[in-house]
Amino acid sequence: MNKIANRAVMCEVLKEAAAKDRDVVVLCSDSRGSASLTSFAEEYPAQFVEIGIAEQNLVSVAAGLASCGKKAFAVSPASFISTRSYEQCKVDCAYSNTNVKLVGISGGVSYGALGMTHHSAQDIAAMSAIPGMRVYLPSDRHQTRKLFEALLQDQQTAYIRLGRNPVEDVYEENCVPFEMNKATEIAQGSDVLIVACGEMVKPAKEAAELLAKQGVSAGVLDMYCIKPLDAEGLLKAAAGKKLVVSVEEHAPFGGLGSMVAQVISANDPKRVINLALPDAPVITGTSQEVFHHYGLDAEGIAKTVSQALEG
C-alpha cells in the first residue's frame, strides 16, 4: 500500500518548481500542516504567505499576487476554500482572470468523523458553475504530479481537490498516461463503462476486475478533468456500451454524474446511473467506512452494475 498522500506529492512538485521559478508562491490559511506544505514554508519562506484562518482573504490575496505575475497556489481545506471563499473564487480568480490555483485539501469525506462542516461534497458543483473555472480531481499520486506539472505551465485559474489520506496507486510510477483535459481510459470493456474521478477511480478499477470474474466486461475511465469535461473521450469510451455508471465522492447533484448524464443523453442516449454520496449529512466514519456504506467501494460499484445489467 502506498503511504504517500496526493497532497504530499503536490508539495514536492511545488518545491521543485519554486527552486527554479521565484514567481511560484504558495498561500495557506493556517493549513500548511494539513496541506503537507510545512517543508515548502521552511525551504522557501520568501515564496510562502501565511494568511491565518481567513479563507476569503486567502483567495483575494492570491489573486492580487497573481495579477502582479505570481503563480499563486492558495491551499486550504476543500470545504472552506470552495464555499466560504466562493465569491472570491468567482470574482477575483475567474472573473478577473488571474492565475490562481485553488487547491482544496482533505476533500470529500476525508475528515471522516469531523462531520459536515469539514466535508466538501458540494465543491465540484459549486466550482464548475463558475465561468472560467476549471475543476480537477486527480486519482493517485502519480497523476497528481502530472497534473500539477501541467498546471504550473498555464496561466488560468483552476480548482483542484485532493484527499487527505494516502490512496492506492492507480498507475505505475513509470507508466502514467496523462494528457491535460483528456480522460484516461484505464480499462477497456464491452458491456459497461464506469466513469470515476479522484479517489473513486481505484475502486472503480477494482470493481471492473470483480465484474470480469462474473463475466461482465467493464471499461473504466479516469475523468480527472471534470471541467472541461472530456466529452469526446467519454463518448468514445461509452460507445456500444449498454450502461454508463459514474462514481464520485460528492453530493448527487451537479457533480461528475450530472455532467456525464448531460453528455450521454445529448449525444448517445442510454442508461446512466450516478453513484454518489447522499443528499444528506454523511454517516459518521472513516472514508473507507463511508464509501462502503454508500456503495462507493469496489464491491458496491460492482453490485450496482450487476443488478442494473440483470434488471
Partner 1 sequence: MNALALKAYDLRQDVLDIIVAGGGGHIGGDMSSMEIMLTLYHRMNVDPQQPKDPNRDRFVLSKGHCVETLYAVLADKGFLDIEEVKAQFSRFGSEYIGHPHNTLPGIEMNSGSLGHGLSVCVGMALAGRMDQRPYRVYTLMGDGELAEGSIWEALMAAGHYGLDNLCAVIDRNHLQISGNTEEVMGHHDLHARFAAFDWHVIDVADGNDVDQLEAAFQEAERTKGKPTILIANTVKGKGSPLMENKASWHHHLPNQAEYEQISRDLKARKAELAEALAKGGAAHE
Residues at the contact surface with partner 1, assessed by CB under 8 A: 22, 25, 46-47, 49, 51-52, 54, 56-57, 59-70, 72, 87-88, 91-92, 95-98
> DSSP states of 41-71 as a string?
HHH-GGGEEE--S-HHHHHHHHHHHHHTT-E
Nearer to partner 1, 95 or 253 (CB): 95
State the minimum distance, in angstroms, from the CB of residue 44 to partner 1: 11
| Least gap, CB of 9 to partner 1 (angstroms) | 26
Burial class (CB in 10 A: 0-12, 13-18, 19+), 285: middle
Q: By C-beta, is 51 or 211 nearer to partner 1?
A: 51
Cell of 18: 519554486
* Run of H or E residues at 290: helix 287-293
C-beta closer to partner 1: residue 71 or 119: 71
Residue 50 beta carbon to partner 1: minimum distance, rounded to whole angstroms: 9
The 3-state secondary structure of 117-179, one letter per residue? HHCECCHHHHHHCCCCCEEECCCCHHHHHHHHHHHCCCCCCEEEECCCCCCCCCCECCECCCE
CA distance 238 to 233: 8
Closest by CA to 133, choosing from 43, 57, 229, 210, is: 229
What is the number of alpha carbons within 13 Å of residue 78 lying toward its C-beta? 30
Q: Are 5 and 34 in contact (CB under 8 A)?
A: no
Closest CB 122 distance from partner 1, rounded Å: 20
Nearer to partner 1, 23 or 149 (CB): 23
Rounded to a whole number of angstroms, the minimum distance from the CB of residue 60 to partner 1 is: 3
For partner 1, which is the closer residue by CB, 24 or 208? Answer: 24
For the bound state, the minimum distance from the C-beta of residue 98 to partner 1, rounded and expressed in Å, comes to: 8
Cα(296)–Cα(273) distance, integer angstroms: 13
